[in-house]
């Protein structure tokens, strides 16, 4: 009997990835189906559906599920789900597809066959619908009005831009996933299916595991968060995004190299598992924090580390809005439909010169002049611009790897920072 938290949705891991004879048969059938190209975001969602990372989802959402997720944080059957998972196609493609028809989904970048899908519903995604989704999913509590949000979101929020650039029609239906794309080979030893991480945790006898979400290289604050988790749980799952990021973010292979050196030199390795997952960032702040906890439950984690400005971008969200949202989500009388991965809420962390170590707002009595404020965005900004990195910001072994990466870049991207991270808030 497993001691791990059950997969989300009460149905176990819903695996839609085919293997063996079933895979070969479906590939042959797909050759005769209409091909529809999918975006990088959809590709990542598709793989997560395939490997059970998005359990209990077995396909892309209907309009009713989309609306329910936006409004109520649940699917229409009452199962908790925090962000839409939809498949957009052009009007021209939609005109050639009938409800009940099977289609083949291919990677828009390289035309690789990714999945087959039985289309159960076609529904228009108007400009008004797109704006509605953006306001529900991306608008933080600090934004007073929708007008205030749109003044900056259309140009400055990558998640909003992603939604507004979607095509005109969404397709709903179940999928059979035929490929995990480049992830198993490009990130061998890091990329994992939920069944694989669960097996590792069970072999170690763990029951309480905290997930640390990473899209930036690990600096001292991340290290501190991970070590707090090790103190209160059986272990920590350092889980890196290996899908697409926004311009200026550091590639996964560089971040993985940084984590490797940190774990080897500054952790007791038996308390740490490193993994990677194939999604694109949505930069949805609080809503994305909920998504991170939801799929980490499928990976076997009972806790989700939530620190300052989790999954945020710029000044769109309050510093701790991603923590307080967990206190406001709906619950059902059916435990299987509820989010069971709970937040491990940790205050703003930093290096304090007077404390002579890592600390937080809950533990350090000193002033901001004594603190080295730690932020992944600030680290990227300093490295990109070639400015000195403050003492105690990161481990020198990690900074050496990052400096080598930035030295090899031919083009630099402007890095925008959260005002809190710069001490301006």
pLDDT in tens, 8-26: 999 999 999 999 999 999 9
Tell me the mean pLDDT in the region 339-357.
95
Say if 112 falls within a structural domain: yes
215 is catalytic: yes
Mean pLDDT of the chain: 92
pLDDT recorded at residue 47: 98
Per-residue pLDDT tens over the stretch 389-401: 888 888 999 999 9
What's the CA gap between 354 and 370, in Å, rounded?
Answer: 6
Overall domain count for the chain: 2
User: In 197-256, where do the E strands start and end?
Assistant: 209-214, 235-241
Residues 287, 411, single domain; the answer is yes
Residues 201, 107, single domain; the answer is no
The enclosing domain of 413 has a CATH number of 3.40.50.620
Residues 206, 174, single domain; the answer is no
pLDDT recorded at residue 414: 56
Q: State the pLDDT confidence band at 424, using cuts at 50, 70 and 90.
A: very low
Q: How far is CA 315 from CA 202, 210, 320, 348, in A?
A: 40, 27, 12, 16
Q: Which domain holds residue 47?
A: 20-125+166-181
**Of 135, 156, 181, which one is at a domain's C-terminal end?**
181
Tell whether the model's pLDDT for residue 416 goes beyond 60. Answer: no
Residues 219, 95, single domain; the answer is no
What's the CA gap between 85 and 57, in Å, rounded?
Answer: 9
pLDDT recorded at residue 419: 52
What's the CA gap between 157 and 393, in Å, rounded?
Answer: 27
Among residues 41, 198, 215, 255, which one is catalytic? Answer: 215
SS3 272: strand
Say if 7 falls within a structural domain: no
Residues 282, 366, single domain; the answer is yes
Tell me the mean pLDDT in the region 111-115.
97
Residues 97, 244, single domain; the answer is no
What's the CA gap between 315 and 16, in Å, rounded?
Answer: 38
**Of 142, 158, 181, which one is at a domain's C-terminal end?**
181
Say if 143 falls within a structural domain: no
380 is catalytic: no
Say if 130 falls within a structural domain: no
CA neighbor of 237 nearest in space, from 321, 319, 293 = 293
pLDDT recorded at residue 329: 97
Tell whether the model's pLDDT for residue 413 goes beyond 70. Answer: no
pTM value surpassing 0.85: yes
The H or E element spanning position 59 is strand 59-60
The enclosing domain of 28 has a CATH number of 3.10.400.10
Among residues 41, 193, 216, 296, which one is catalytic? Answer: 216
Residues 318, 380, single domain; the answer is yes
Question: Mean pLDDT lowest for which of 141-150, 158-167, 198-207?
Answer: 141-150
What are the tokens at 29? 């059938």
Say if 147 falls within a structural domain: no
User: In 226-328, where do the E strands start and end?
Assistant: 235-241, 272-277, 303-306
Residues 44, 67, single domain; the answer is yes
* 212 DSSP β-pair partners: 238
Residues 170, 232, single domain; the answer is no
Residues 120, 221, single domain; the answer is no
Residues 274, 300, single domain; the answer is yes
CA neighbor of 175 nearest in space, from 90, 86, 241, 82 = 86
- The total of other beta-carbon atoms located within 10 Å of residue 356's CB is 9
**Of 152, 181, 210, which one is at a domain's C-terminal end?**
181
What's the CA gap between 235 and 201, in Å, rounded?
Answer: 9
Say if 383 falls within a structural domain: yes
């Amino acid at each position: 009997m497993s001691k791990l938290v059950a997969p989300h949705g009460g149905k176990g891991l819903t695996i839609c990835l085919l293997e063996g004879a079933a895979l070969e048969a479906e590939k042959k059938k797909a050759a005769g189906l209409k091909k529809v190209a999918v975006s990088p975001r959809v590709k990542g969602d598709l793989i997560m559906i395939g490997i059970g990372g998005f359990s209990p989802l077995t396909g892309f959402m209907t309009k009713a599920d989309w609306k329910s997720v936006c409004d109520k944080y649940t699917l229409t059957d009452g199962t908790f789900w925090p962000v839409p998972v939809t498949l957009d196609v052009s009007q021209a493609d939609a005109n050639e597809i009938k409800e009940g028809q099977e289609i083949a989904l291919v990677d828009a970048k390289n035309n690789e066959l990714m999945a087959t899908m039985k289309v159960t519903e076609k529904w228009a995604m108007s400009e008004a619908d797109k704006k509605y989704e953006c306001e529900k999913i991306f608008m933080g509590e600090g934004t007073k009005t929708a007008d205030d949000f749109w003044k900056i979101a259309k140009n400055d929020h990558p998640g909003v831009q992603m939604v507004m650039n979607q095509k005109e029609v969404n397709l709903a239906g179940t999928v059979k996933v035929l490929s995990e794309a480049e992830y198993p080979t490009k990130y061998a030893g890091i990329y994992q299916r939920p069944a694989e991480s669960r097996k590792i945790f069970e072999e170690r006898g763990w029951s309480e595991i905290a997930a640390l979400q990473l899209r930036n290289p690990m600096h001292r604050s991340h290290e501190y968060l991970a070590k707090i988790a090790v103190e209160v749980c059986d272990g920590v799952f350092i889980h890196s995004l290996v899908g697409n990021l926004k311009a200026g973010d550091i590639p996964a292979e560089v971040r993985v190299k940084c984590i490797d050196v940190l774990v080897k030199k500054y952790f007791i390795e038996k308390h740490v598992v490193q993994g990677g997952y194939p999604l694109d960032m949505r930069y949805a702040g609080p809503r994305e924090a909920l998504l991170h906890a939801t799929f980490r439950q499928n990976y076997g984690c009972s806790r989700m580390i939530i620190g300052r400005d989790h999954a945020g971008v710029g000044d769109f969200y309050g510093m701790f809005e991603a923590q307080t949202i967990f206190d406001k989500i709906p619950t059902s009388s059916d435990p299987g439909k509820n989010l069971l991965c709970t937040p491990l809420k940790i205050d703003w962390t930093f290096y304090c010169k007077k404390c002579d170590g890592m600390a937080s707002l809950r533990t350090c009595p000193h002033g901001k002049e004594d603190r080295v404020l730690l932020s992944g965005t600030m680290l990227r900004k300093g490295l990109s611009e070639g400015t000195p990195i403050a003492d105690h910001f990161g481990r020198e072994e990690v900074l050496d790897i990052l400096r080598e990466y930035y030295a090899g870049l031919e083009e630099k991207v402007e890095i925008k920072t959260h005002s809190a991270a710069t001490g301006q808030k």
